[in-house]
Amino acid sequence: MGGRSALPVASVEARLDAFESVCDTHPHVVQGDLTDRDVVYRLFEEARPEAIVHLGECPSAPYSMIDADHAIWVQRNNIEGTMNVLYAMRDLAPEAHLVKLGTMGEYGTPNLDIPEGFFEVEYRGRRDRLPFPRQAGSWYHWSKVHDSNNVMFACRIFGLRATDVMQGVVYGTRFFGSSADHPVDPALHTRLDFDQAFGTALNRFCCQSVIGEPMTLFGLGNQRRGFLPICDSMQCLTLAVDNPPEAGDYRVFNQFEETYTISELASKVAAVASDMGLDPRIRRIENPRKELEEHHYNPDHDHLLTLGYQPTRDMDSEIRAMLEDLLPHHDRIAAKRDVLLPDIRWDGSRRTSGFLDAGNGAGSGSPGEAPNRDQPDQVEPMIDPVLAGAR
C-alpha cells in the first residue's frame, strides 16, 4: 500500500537474540509460504508440533476490497494456507492443538448479543446448538468465516482439536513488559502499520497524532468494536495453548478486553496526546466502507476469563506508551503521511474520502474536499503479491 511500519523492524537475527534474552529460548525460524503444501508438510515433519498458533494470513479488509484480483488472492491465500495446515495436522500431528486466528469481524453487527461461536436456537418446536450466523463485512472477513467452517469440519471428520480465536482489534507497540518496565528492547517492538489497509484504528490514531494529522473517523464514528492490547493478545493465545480442548473438539473464544466506539477511542488518544504536549485533532471523513455506523454490540467474552485471562493494561497508559514509542519516529511516519487517508471504497471505486466537517485547525481542508498531500520524501518499492504475480 506504499506504507511501511512506523517502528523500524529489526532483522530476524536481532529479533531472535532479543527474544532469547527475555524468554531464555531461541526459536527456530523457517520462512515459507503456507499455500505451498510441501513447505507446510516439511515444517510439520521437522517440528512434530504439539500446538500450532496460526496467524499467517492476509489481515486486511480494505486490501481485499480493491478489486477481483485482490479479493480472490486474499481468499485463496487465507483459505488454502489453513487447509494445508489442517491436512498436515491430520497426516503428521493428529494430536496437536490448532489455535487459529479468526476475527470478531466474522460476526458482523447483528441486532442480537453475540455468543462465543455457538448458540441455542429453537425453531418450529425443536432445539439445537448451532454456529451463530456470521455476517462478515469484507472479502477478507469472509475468508476468515470460510476458515472457521473448514476448521470446524476438520475437527469433526479428522478428530482434530482446535481453538478458533475471534480476536478483536489489536493495538500497541509492546509485546513484553508493562509501561512501567520501559525501556523495552526496540528489537522486540512489533511491526506497526498505519496505512489505510494494514493499519488498525487505534494504531493509526496514534500515528496521526504524532505527526499533527487529524484522527479520521469514518462517518459518524459510532461503530463499536472489541479491542485489546497486543501483550494481552499474547497472554490469551498462551492460555489457549496451555489449556487444549479434547480431541475432536472445536471451540471458539471471543478475544477482546473491552468494546469502544471509534469516537471514544479518538477522544482517549486526544486526551493522552494533549497531556503529552501534542496538538491532537479529530475529524470525520466519508466512510469508504458499507457498514452500520450505529448498531447494537454486546459480544460475550467469558471463555478466556474463565481460563484465567486478566487484562493487564488500562488503555490510557497503553496509548501513552505507544505515543512514547512512536514520537522518536515522527519523520519516518510523516514521510508516508499520504497513505493515511482511505481511497479504497467498498463499492469498488478508488476515491480519497473527503472531510464531513469544517475542521478546527490549519490544514484541515474543507467539507467534502480531499486534502492536498505532500509527496513522501522517499518512496519504498511496493511489493504487491497480486501484481508481483506471487499468486
Ligand X SMILES: NC(=O)c1ccc[n+]([C@@H]2O[C@H](COP(=O)([O-])OP(=O)(O)OC[C@H]3O[C@@H](n4cnc5c(N)ncnc54)[C@H](O)[C@@H]3O)[C@@H](O)[C@H]2O)c1
| Interaction site with ligand X (CB under 6 A) | 33-35, 55-59, 77, 81, 101, 103, 167, 169-170, 191, 200
DSSP 133: P
Q: Any catalytic annotation for residue 144? A: yes
Out of 100, 107, 144, 200, the active site residue is: 144
Q: Using an 8 Å Cβ cutoff, are 96 and 217 in contact?
A: no
Q: Using an 8 Å Cβ cutoff, are 255 and 233 in contact?
A: yes
The CB-of-61 to ligand X minimum distance in angstroms stands at 10
The CB-of-164 to ligand X minimum distance in angstroms stands at 11
Q: Any catalytic annotation for residue 250? A: no
What is the distance of C-alpha 141 from the center of its chain? 11
Which is nearer to ligand X, 56 or 177 (by Cβ)? 56
- φ and ψ at residue 279, rounded to 5 degrees: -120, 70
The CB-of-74 to ligand X minimum distance in angstroms stands at 9
Hey, what's the cell of 206? Answer: 496514534
Own/partner contacts of 112-116, CB < 8 Å, gap of 24 or more, are 112/296, 113/296, 113/298, 113/299, 113/300, 114/254, 114/297, 114/298, 114/299, 114/300, 115/299, 115/300, 116/166, 116/252, 116/253, 116/254, 116/300, 116/301, 116/302, 116/303
The CB-of-204 to ligand X minimum distance in angstroms stands at 11
Q: Is 275 exposed, middle or buried (0-12, 13-18, 19+ CB in 10 A)?
A: exposed
What is the helix, strand, coil percentage profile of the chain, to 5? 35, 15, 45
The CB-of-124 to ligand X minimum distance in angstroms stands at 36
Q: Any catalytic annotation for residue 336? A: no
| Cα dihedral sign, 236-237-238-239 | positive
What is the distance of C-alpha 245 from the center of its chain? 25
Which is nearer to ligand X, 154 or 170 (by Cβ)? 170
Give how far Cα 346 sits from Cα of 36, 110, 215, 268, 387, Å: 30, 19, 21, 28, 20
C-alpha span between 285 and 283 (Å, rounded): 7
Which is nearer to ligand X, 26 or 191 (by Cβ)? 191
Give how far Cα 288 sits from Cα of 41, 219, 285, Å: 40, 9, 9
Out of 35, 63, 82, 103, the active site residue is: 103
Which is nearer to ligand X, 141 or 251 (by Cβ)? 141
Out of 140, 250, 297, 309, the active site residue is: 140
The CB-of-369 to ligand X minimum distance in angstroms stands at 31
Q: Annotated active-site positions, please?
A: 103, 140, 144
